A = this chain, B = another copy of it.
Amino acid sequence: MNLQGLRVMGIDPGLTRCGLSVVQAGRGRQVIPIAVGVARTPSDVELSERLLRISKSVSDWMDEYKPDVVAMERIFERSNVSTVMHTAHAVGVMVLAAAERDIPVHMYTPSEVKKSVSGNGRADKKQMTTMITRILGLSEPPKPADAADALAIAVCHCWRAPLLARASAIEKLRKN
């Protein structure tokens, strides 16, 4: 399976702060960074308006960079229920934006991303930033700092995509 050229949009979902990235798969395990950024919405604005803004930002990125696939961090229940709910609402509108453009969405848990990128499912933020800087051949750590996660998610998908493609091809052969 050669997925060279595959363009992946990585999303670290959030309503207050949402990490966005775009990378492109190169030869072998090479990954080329295309864009990185953070979409923010102020917490004192109404939920409707915040979802409208997040939807607009993510849609603009999709229309500008035309990713083949979206990779997103799967959210889990954490201590602050209200934050999780807000994040889950944001995930809803972002998955919808992808679906409206026929872009498939893959979800990865934080430990899947860490394991794939650093070899260690429990790597800390510093280790992850170091690895991402190295993998993407950047001269300094990606900025803004909290967008590094979005890059890691996109890299994780680039490296797992060949396996997923192979698994799906085998599945199809079995059915025929």
Q: Which residues of A contact B (CB under 8 A)?
A: 47-49, 51-52, 55, 75-77, 81, 84-85, 88-93, 95-96, 98-100, 104-105
Contacts and interface: CB of A to CB of B under 8 A. Distances in A.
Nearest to A75: B85
Contacts of A89: 88-89, 91-92, 95
A51 B51 CA distance: 15
Contacts of A52: 96, 99-100
Contacts of A88: 84-85, 88-89, 91-92
A76 B77 CA distance: 12
Contacts of A49: 99
A47 B105 contact: yes
Contacts of A95: 47-48, 51, 89
A100 B49 CA distance: 9
27 contacts: A47-B95, A47-B105, A48-B95, A48-B96, A48-B104, A48-B105, A51-B92, A51-B99, A52-B96, A55-B96, A75-B85, A77-B77, A77-B81, A84-B88, A88-B88, A88-B91, A88-B92, A89-B89, A89-B91, A89-B92, A89-B95, A91-B92, A92-B92, A92-B93, A93-B93, A93-B96, A96-B96
A45 to B, nearest CB: 11
A81 B78 CA distance: 11
A104 B113 CA distance: 38
Nearest to A90: B92
A77, A96, A98: most-surrounded residue (chain B CB, <10 A): A96
